[in-house]
Amino acid sequence: MDRAAAERFVAAWCASWCRVDIDAVVAHFADHAQMRSPLALTLTGSPTVTGAENIRGYWRKAYGHIESADLKILSWSWDEAIARLTVWWQLGDTRASEFMDFDDTGRVVRSEVFYGK
């Protein structure tokens, strides 16, 4: 993935989250992906969710009751050397930074989110 592809990914990722289209978000993840979040610890007892289907189930539990979201991208960066996208976003009063590592096929293999105020 290059910077232009990363920019397209950020736009599609944001649009999918704004629609709360969890299937569209998970479609970007490899089957064996890992996602780490403090919210996952609260909802599942573990900070890490492994596998695209488990990530889909977690996100449905966490966000499935929401019909739409006003997610705003504050900034993003792409590091081509390590295939890492970092996105700084805001949803309501919640601000976060989230990184996603990609494999050679352009699918997310690992992600982690950090929340702030």
Print the domain residue range for 79. Answer: 3-116
> Is pTM beyond 0.85 here?
yes
CATH code of residue 112: 3.10.450.50
Structural domains in the chain (count): 1
Q: What is the pLDDT of residue 77?
A: 98
Residue 94, strand partner residues: 91
pLDDT in tens, 13-66: 999 999 999 999 999 999 999 999 998 998 889 999 999 999 999 999 988 888
25 touches 35 (CB < 8 A): no
Tell me what pLDDT residue 68 has.
83
DSSP-derived 3-state class of residue 24: helix
List helix spans (H) across 1-117.
3-18, 22-26, 38-44, 52-63
99-106 CB contacts, 8 Å cutoff, 24+ apart:
102/1, 103/30, 105/30, 106/1, 106/5, 106/9
Return the pLDDT at 110: 98
Segment 63-115, tens digit of pLDDT: 888 888 899 999 999 999 999 999 999 998 999 999 999 999 999 999 999 99
